Amino acid sequence: MSDFIQEETKLIQFKNSKKGKIPPQALDLEETIIGSIMIDKKGLDEVIDILFPEVFYKKEHQEIFFVIQKLYHNSIPIDLYTVLNELRKIGKLESIGGELYLIELTQKVISSAHIEYHSRIVIQKFILRKLISTSSYIIQKCYEESTDVFDLLDHAESKLFELHQKYLIEKKYETTQCLIQKAIEKIKKTEKEGLSGIPSGFHKLDYITSGWQNSDLIILASRPGMGKTTFMLSMVKNIVVEKKIPIIIFSLEMSSIQLITKLISSETGISSGKIKRANLSQLDWEHLFHKTKKLKNVPLFIDDTPSLSIFSLRAKCRRLISQHGIKLIFIDYMQLMGVHDHSSKLQNREQEISVISRSLKSISKELDLPIIALSQLSRAVETRGGNKRPILSDLRESGAIEQDADIVLFIYRPEYYGFKNWDSDEDNDSCIGQAEIIIAKHRNGGLDKFRLKFVSDQAKFLNLEEKKQSSSVWEEDFKKNVLDQENFLGTSPCNRNNLEDHTLSEFNSFNEIDFNNNENSLKE
């Protein structure tokens, strides 16, 4: 399927089932646009960023606009004479109809009024032609036995994405008066709510960033084993459980069941090892049942599609925003994403990561929500002497990640490398059970670092002032609940048996529920 583009070019002649059917076009408007540009120098300024030679249906108009575009970029005045002269110079004057045709175009209009409106109609006709062309190609490939359906889907998605990005993005500019008003409204909202973005749940991080901001690309990076996924899930718990903000996790490394199991460990305080081995006491089961009740209906969506392409990601995000109001996107992790763009001649993995990074930033801006992408660091971190704090140049496979990101966070745990103290073994500043979050880049704020508590057996990060969830605490709560129920039911063996049977049946009924209902909605 590597010859997609070459084959589609041959198929550019539309294969309509009805013989002689004319493709969508607006020749009269094409003539009006070109004529108005040659008589009014202001006309081109209105449309130079949305018009391209290929959007014109008539080949002669494509040639003329190509020359107009060339003159504009060379800062040469555009009028009937300069366009005519340039066409003659490149040997295209006769092929477009000669001097007479150019003169006729200028005589069809008296000004460039409504040129942008006319241009958008011409663009829409062009998009319809491209859709016909792409659809014809896809239909033909569907009948071929050798076609890879996933390659074909990627091709279709990439073509639609390309059309939208190049031809349908509106010109967006606003006056300072309007922008100042919006800024003041945002400041007032921040004053009232405390944060202008989505809170992470970590006090110092939220103080520095004021929450995750719309259209920001945030990179969370570390070496393997530092706790990237755990840190992500700690934020997820704070955001969806406490704040009820809808989010999507694209998990390319772990399955959705593995991910939700880690979240259960974090929420219940039961060690992930005990859950993995199913080595749970009756008390553990009872606690797990009570604690996971509030996880059932949280607005969390998980997609564990492997090697997810950037085009599939964008399509899924748009659908989830429309259907469920998603406000934040997590990707775990970006080096596992694929490009699958057959139109690109990518030479190496660094170029692929650059495309992924740039596309993620584009998607966050287009959808106007934050994207938090987890990323690996290179082995250079571990080869350095002294402490192993990561730096921006450690970002793996591409410097484009550093360039595209609005915020870069690093996780550093000296304990992972066998250190007992933060800066040297001689001081008494213990690093056991702690992590340092380093803000290495912050496009709209300052750089900083701060420490969090790391509870590895419960798969969670905590603010330093928070206490680790102790089993003795929830054991006492559970015993108190049982005692209260015994007092209510009486202490007869019959009533005790009824209580145990009721508790067991209630848990079994919960266990039969499809825990991650949200995941199924992604597949529909």
Closest alpha carbon to 197 in 182, 216, 220: 216
Q: Which amino acid is at 93?
A: L
Give the N- to C-terminal CA distance of the chain in Å, as an integer.
Answer: 28
Report how far residue 141's alpha carbon sits from residue 4's, in angstroms, rounded to the nearest whole number.
10
Residues in a beta bridge with 309: 338
At 322, list the tokens.
């429309």
Catalytic one among 116, 253, 415, 486?
Answer: 253
Q: Could you give the CA distance from residue 126 to residue 119 in angstroms, rounded to a whole number?
A: 11
Specify the 3-state DSSP secondary structure of 455.
strand
Which residues lie closer than 8 Å to 106 by C-beta, 6 or more apart? 35, 38, 39, 80
Rounded distance between C-alpha atoms, residue 331 and residue 251, angstroms: 6
DSSP state string for 218-260: EEEEE-TTS-HHHHHHHHHIIIIIIS---EEEEESSS-HHHHH
For the question of residue 253 being annotated catalytic, the response is yes
Q: Which residues contact 121 (CB under 8 A, 6 or more apart)?
A: 26, 29
- What is the layout of strands, in order, in the sheet containing 434-442? 300-303, 247-251, 328-332, 371-376, 217-222, 407-412, 434-442, 448-455, 460-462
Note if the bond before 333 is cis, omega within 30 degrees.
Answer: yes
How far apart, in whole angstroms, are the C-alpha atoms of residue 425 and residue 51?
A: 65
CB atoms within 10 A of CB 24: 14
DSSP-based three-state secondary structure for 152:
helix
Residue type, 110: I
Q: Where are the alpha helices (DSSP H) in 244-347?
A: 256-268, 272-277, 282-292, 310-324
Distance, in Å, from the CA atom of 233 to the CA atom of 263, rounded to the nearest integer, reads: 6
Q: Which residues are catalytic?
A: 253
